[in-house]
Amino acid sequence: MKFLQAPWRWEFISRHSGSGPCIFCQAAEDTRDRENLVCYRGDSFFVILNKYPYATGHLMVVPNLHTCELMHITPAQASEMWFLINQSIAHLKERFKPDGFNLGMNLGAAAGAGIKEHLHMHVVPRWSGDANFMPIIGKSRVMSYSLSDVYDALAEGFSR
């Protein structure tokens, strides 16, 4: 069996292990969207860039409601969530031209949730050949764009 390592995530995971304030709740309440990397705010959900992305444009669709249970999301809220996922994919396709996407929720620590207390859907753009040796051998990730450039592109897309 092979094990994939992501050592660059440890700093984030160790700081957000359930103690202290929820970073998603803080982002939902704080109006400094650019500083918090919030690209869009809907009625019940917001779109935020991942501060430690697996790929350029890695974002999350997050409910304003602090919950770790999918059953706490109403059908209307679920509709908004899927609408924002589709909008996110459309804006990422338009600006960054990925070849595909990974979508996923990790529900609970056993499932790999870095922030298990607050639901969030990951949207990760992927390109053919984007998996390489750099994260393992070089302990580095190569991002084609800065977080601020990605933020600008997506915030502009959502503002239309």
**pLDDT tens digit sequence for 29-58:** 999 999 999 999 999 999 999 998 888 999
CATH number at residue 30: 3.30.428.10
- The whole-number pLDDT of residue 136 equals 45
Q: Which residues are catalytic?
A: 120
Residue 109 falls within a domain, yes or no? yes
Residue 5 falls within a domain, yes or no? no
Residue 87 falls within a domain, yes or no? yes
Residue 106 falls within a domain, yes or no? yes
Residue 6 falls within a domain, yes or no? no
Residue 2 falls within a domain, yes or no? no
Please state, in angstroms and rounded to a whole number, the distance separating the CA atoms of residues 71 and 63.
Answer: 13
What's the whole-model pTM score?
A: 0.81
45: containing domain: 20-159
Structural domain tally of the chain?
1
**Strands (E) located in 28-144:** 38-41, 45-49, 59-63, 100-104, 121-126
Q: Is the pLDDT of residue 62 over 80?
A: yes
What pLDDT digit, counting tens, does each position of 65-115 carry? 999 999 999 999 999 999 999 999 999 999 999 999 999 999 988 988 888
Residue 120 falls within a domain, yes or no? yes
- The whole-number pLDDT of residue 48 equals 98
Residue 3 falls within a domain, yes or no? no
Residue 68: partners with Cβ closer than 8 Å, 6 or more residues away: 107, 108, 116, 117, 118, 119
CA distances from 41 to 8, 84, 86, 125 (A): 28, 10, 15, 21
Please state, in angstroms and rounded to a whole number, the distance separating the CA atoms of residues 88 and 86.
Answer: 5
